[in-house]
Amino acid sequence: MTTTKFYRYIIPILLTLIGMTARSFAQSAPGGEVTFTIVGRIALPADRELSEKETEALFSGASRYLSSADLTYGSIDSTVLYRTDVLKGVGFDVLGYGDQCQFETREIGGRRIKIGFCSFSEMPTGLGGDEEIVSELIRGYVRSVKDSCDILVVSFQSPYDGPNSEHFSIDEDLFPRVCIDAGADMVIGQGGGVARGVELYHHRLIAYSLGKFCTPFGSNVKSYSGLAPVLQVTVTDQGRFVDGKIISMLQNPGKGPSADPKDKAATMIKYVSETDFPDSGIDVGPDGILAIKTATVRDNFVDSLLAYGTRYLGRPYSLGKTGPSAFDCSGLVYSLYSKFGIKLGRTAREQYRNGRPVNRMELRKGDLIFFNTQRNVYPGHVAIVYEVMPDGNFRFLHSCSSKGVTIQTFNGSYYYFSRYVGARRVVEDER
């Protein structure tokens, strides 16, 4: 996608930030949980207007789910704009349309929680390269919205349809993960041909598409296209995933969604999730129950360290600095590991002697990787493995002179690929 195309629809979103007040910080301690009910695309007939009674009837089969959460969110198209009042009446709190941001406040655990909903009318594609201007625009925009709320939910219109469209390729589309990296707490795809898989990414839920929830007029509702999952999710007041459930419903021509005793949507999403995201931190049960996979103590430790490190994304590079306003490469590594109780050498050369050597094909999150980037210093650069992909490629968090603190893809950069010299593991499983 071109930068021009991106500006076409991102400018209206950015304009919604004008006049936005700064976040109001609560005095009481966090500790509550927020429950969400989220559904897929909603569309009414394009050739005629439904009465209020007809519209209400479409959602009668799902009413108990729509009114059972702290916040219920749905995505609508232009055919529904004249009936948003009716949808609010049947249980929806927020309706996403086009490119916009909306905010709701709830009293949770004695604390006022501000929740942001940011919708994209189409998902920007082709974000595989960190050098992409579009990727940086998205990061900056999501960060700016998150600065104004406690929990941020990003939704996007899924662009895929056709054969095998239930599968999602992370290699091609990093947009959902880019949003999480920039501060979003949940990313939900909607629309497209069918529902897709879910994964847990840095303790935040991504649902790559909930498909269509109520599109029974002039739309294909056969086979997978007729599945209408309802996603129920509980997160902490900091946005961290707690648990959830996929409630299976079905669409029928001319009628609203109805309960599916065979749990087809949950079964399909379970299969696709396990196929597309085998290393995800979430289990999908055959009954639709979403649960966190049991992780090692090391996994939890490293996830916390990396999540803390992402708060520095965008900070400038400065030789000799260990933060927090600026870092050199080893200064970032030294600072993060010190924060979590591990003392390393101060320079890349010294850190290359910490821990134990690791083969590149056995890398795990949290390992240190080193590069030969300076003529008189070996090694001259250090980074932290941020994510290992199923094909063996990986992304790393580091501070570099050209971009400051950033996350890059190893195989996506010839410069670093050609200068890789080795890796060290400084956090072992028994931690």
> Catalytic pick from 202, 203, 398, 400?
398
Told to judge if 149 belongs to the known catalytic residues of this protein, a careful annotator would answer no
CB of 126 closer than 8 Å to CB of 132: yes
Q: What are the DSSP calls for 11-30, one per residue?
A: HHHHHTTTTPPPP---SSPP
Told to judge if 202 belongs to the known catalytic residues of this protein, a careful annotator would answer no
Question: Which residues have a Cβ under 8 Å from the Cβ of 19 and sit 6 or more positions away?
Answer: none
Q: Tell me which residue of 128, 220, 210, 134 sits closest to 177, measured CA to CA.
A: 128
99: left (phi over 0), alpha (psi -120 to 50) or beta: beta
Alpha-helical segments (H) within 285-410: 297-309, 329-339, 348-351
Told to judge if 381 belongs to the known catalytic residues of this protein, a careful annotator would answer yes
Question: Which residues have a Cβ under 8 Å from the Cβ of 375 and sit 6 or more positions away?
Answer: none
> Catalytic pick from 101, 179, 329, 400?
329
Query: Cα–Cα distance between 240 and 28 in angstroms, integer?
Result: 19
Measured CA distances, 287 to 81, 161, 166, 246, 409 (Å): 34, 26, 19, 8, 36
User: From edge to edge, which strands make up the β-sheet containing 368-371?
Assistant: 356-357, 420-425, 368-371, 381-388, 394-400, 404-409
Query: Cα–Cα distance between 43 and 80 in angstroms, integer?
Result: 6
Query: Cα–Cα distance between 188 and 37 in angstroms, integer?
Result: 12
> Catalytic pick from 202, 214, 381, 400?
381
Q: Tell me which residue of 231, 234, 221 sits closest to 197, measured CA to CA.
A: 231
Q: Which residues are catalytic?
A: 329, 381, 398
